[in-house]
Amino acid sequence: MLVTWKYRPRKTFIQSLDPRTRLIFFFAVILGLTIPEIWDYRIIFPLFALSLTLYFLARIEWKDVKRVWPYIFVLLFFIVGLNGLLSGRGGPSSVTNLPSPVVFTVPFKIPFTDIGWDVPITISKMWFAITQMLRMLTMAILAIPIPYTMDPNIYGTAFRQLGASDKFSFTMDLAFRFLPTFARDFSITMDAQRARGYEMEKLKGGITSRLRRLAPLIIPVVMQSTVTGEEVVDAMDLRAFGATQRTWVKADLRYGPRDYFMLGLAATIFIGCCVLKWGFGIGEYFVPEFFLNLFS
């Protein structure tokens, strides 16, 4: 099992941006949507379109992500479905309790019990589900390309130049350094135990004993890593880590015109969302006329 970090250099608009710009932009959109709690499709939809455009601009090969998308959709439907089933008072989705015509009902029952209830699906709930999915996709598809399009060697530097401490930034770098090592160690351990007749498929018994049977896989890898750590600490001390403020050789990231453009856009989005919601009261949830009309 080789962890291949799926980053590849490409000549794209996205990859020509400063990594800091991309991180800032990503957080501006997430925070713009979540802090002022935007639920108005007229704001969400344009942002969704923007995210989607950026996603396509990243030009990730389909084979790299084809396993991911089904998962994302299952997750979305799961969240939306769960919300429909359980929603009650409090929280943003209580808006779905607004009086609204019931389109159909779904009977729901907890397996092996008599507990169950009917879940009425209203027009309001349906529109909420759509908005919710769009809103979450807007955030998700901004993050999905990051591992494919951002050089793993630059994260530490990027965080450093965003103002994080030497130590935090280097922790990032070091974590990337060890990721493939431990993935390989794990697969060696798996092979070594299989050669001793261990079969993962044969995990039997109750939950506890099944979890216990994982010990032969987990313990060697974890203990090996604690021993490795001691030597790495020595090696770093011997090369003067933490003695003074470090230079980061690669930290000559510069913002170019396109970065300023994206940063401006990020600021506009975040401030815009806040101002619209808190200044003008725009951004609340409502069911648009055309959707209501669909059912009348």
Comparing CB distances to other proteins, the nearer of 3 and 260 is 3
Among 61, 118, 191, 284, binds other proteins (CB under 8 A): 191
Residue 279 Cβ vs other proteins, minimum distance, rounded to whole Å: 20
Size of the site for other proteins (CB under 8 A): 116
Among 62, 67, 115, 279, binds other proteins (CB under 8 A): 67
Among 104, 107, 113, 238, binds other proteins (CB under 8 A): 238
CB 229 within 8 A of CB 260: no
Residues 212-231 that bind other proteins (CB under 8 A): 212, 214-216, 218-231
By CB under 8 A, is residue 250 in contact with other proteins? Answer: yes
Alpha-carbon torsion, ordered 213, 216, 218, 224, to 10 deg: 170
By CB under 8 A, is residue 211 in contact with other proteins? Answer: yes
Distance CA 115, CA 111 (A): 8
Lay out the site mask for other proteins across 107-126 (x = CB under 8 A, - = otherwise).
--------------------
CB 28 within 8 A of CB 266: yes
**How is residue 85 written in tokens?**
């089933």
By CB under 8 A, is residue 73 in contact with other proteins? Answer: no
Residue 72 Cβ vs other proteins, minimum distance, rounded to whole Å: 7
Residue 232 Cβ vs other proteins, minimum distance, rounded to whole Å: 5
Comparing CB distances to other proteins, the nearer of 26 and 255 is 26
Residue 296 Cβ vs other proteins, minimum distance, rounded to whole Å: 26
Residues 91-110 that bind other proteins (CB under 8 A): 91-94
Residue 50 Cβ vs other proteins, minimum distance, rounded to whole Å: 16
Cα angle, residue 84 at apex, residues 293 and 133 outer, rounded to 5°? 70
Choices 115-123, 234-242, 276-284, 287-295 (CB under 8 A): range interacting with other proteins: 234-242
By CB under 8 A, is residue 185 in contact with other proteins? Answer: yes
Lay out the site mask for other proteins across 8-47 (x = CB under 8 A, - = otherwise).
------------------x---x---xx-x-x--------
N- to C-terminal Cα separation, the chain:
56
Enumerate residues 6+ apart whose C-beta is below 8 A from 285. Answer: 39, 40, 92, 95, 128, 131
Residue 251 Cβ vs other proteins, minimum distance, rounded to whole Å: 8
CB 265 within 8 A of CB 29: no
Comparing CB distances to other proteins, the nearer of 12 and 228 is 228
Comparing CB distances to other proteins, the nearer of 111 and 257 is 111
Residues 115-174 that bind other proteins (CB under 8 A): 128, 131-132, 135-136, 139-144, 146-147, 152-153, 167-168, 170-174
Residue 196: CB atoms within 10 A of its CB come to 7
